[in-house]
Amino acid sequence: MNANKQIILTSILLLTAVSYALGHLTGGGLQNFQYNAELVSVAPIVDGYLDDPVWEAALPGKLEQELMNGQRWPESPDFTGSFAAVWRGGFLYIAIKLADDQLETRQTKLLREDHLILYIDPHHTGRKEELYRYTIPIGKETSELKPPLTRVAWGSNGQTCELSFRLDNLAKKGNSVGFIIAYNDVDGGRLQHKIAWAPQGYTEADEMLPDLVFTAKIEPNTQQKLIQWGRIKSLY
Ligand SMILES: [Ca+2]
Ligand SMILES: [Ca+2]
Ligand SMILES: [Ca+2]
């Protein structure tokens, strides 16, 4: 092999290594994939029912990526789900809508029941740390919650859910947290599917988390003043 050929070959190998490393870092198309949680003027009531006005305005994120086989998941009677998120006063609020043809909630072992898996990484390390993992059985409420999760409430026979996370000053305009939500569908006593809000090609082997970004169409401070002014006016 002459010197020129060797240089070309080395360059190709280097480029391959670099693009592999980059691809690995960004996961399955994560760079253009994020959820924008919008600041709202009135927080939703975390009671499990999605009749709060903020949920009508929030954009839904669909659970349409099958994490076990990496394929897109079409809407189907087997499972259809979506979520939305908004923030206010240091809290992140999440609403979830689920439809599952065989809801399994009466097993003694959690993994034999339908359940949600959420990751909220407040420090935005981008990785799926066990510390930030939440396993939430469908239709059940418990008072023992791992911070920053402060509340879980179910409504409509396990078809709707509201969650709140206390993030304090991390919930501010322009900040991001790592986030993913998946539904582990147990039908007929067996875990059949893991369906997530995630980019195309993403699987459970992917370590990086998508971003949830705190957005605000108006300045949080201006909004605060408007609310206060509204309160003052309502006193008269
Ligand atoms: Ca509600
Ligand atoms: Ca199902
Ligand atoms: Ca099920």
Residue spans of the domains in the chain: they are: 1-29, 33-234
Residues with CB under 5 A from ligand 1 (ion): 44-45, 47, 49, 52
Residues with CB under 5 A from ligand 3 (ion): 100, 102, 114, 185-187
Rounded distance from Cα 229 to ligand 3 centre (Å) = 48
DSSP 44: P
Rounded distance from Cα 120 to ligand 3 centre (Å) = 24
The pLDDT score that the predictor gives to residue 43 is 97
**Which parts of the chain sit beneath pLDDT 50?**
16, 18-26
Rounded distance from Cα 167 to ligand 1 centre (Å) = 19
Residues whose CB falls within 8 Å of the CB of residue 15, separated by 6 or more in sequence, listed in order: none
Rounded distance from Cα 48 to ligand 1 centre (Å) = 5
- The Cα–Cα gap between 194 and 205 comes to 12
Rounded distance from Cα 100 to ligand 3 centre (Å) = 5
Rounded distance from Cα 192 to ligand 2 centre (Å) = 8
Q: How many CA atoms lie within 13 A of 39 on its CB side?
A: 21
- The Cα–Cα gap between 127 and 100 comes to 29
Residues whose CB falls within 8 Å of the CB of residue 88, separated by 6 or more in sequence, listed in order: 39, 40, 41, 42, 43
The pLDDT score that the predictor gives to residue 231 is 57
The pLDDT score that the predictor gives to residue 107 is 81
User: Which CATH number is 33-234's, of 3.40.50.170, 2.60.40.10, 3.40.50.10860, 2.60.40.1190?
Assistant: 2.60.40.1190
In order of 19, 27, 145, 224, the CA distances from 199 in angstroms are 19, 9, 29, 35
Q: Which ligand is nearest to the CA of 116?
A: 3
Q: Which ligand is nearest to the CA of 81?
A: 2
- The Cα–Cα gap between 158 and 134 comes to 17
- The Cα–Cα gap between 161 and 100 comes to 14
Q: Which ligand is nearest to the CA of 52?
A: 1
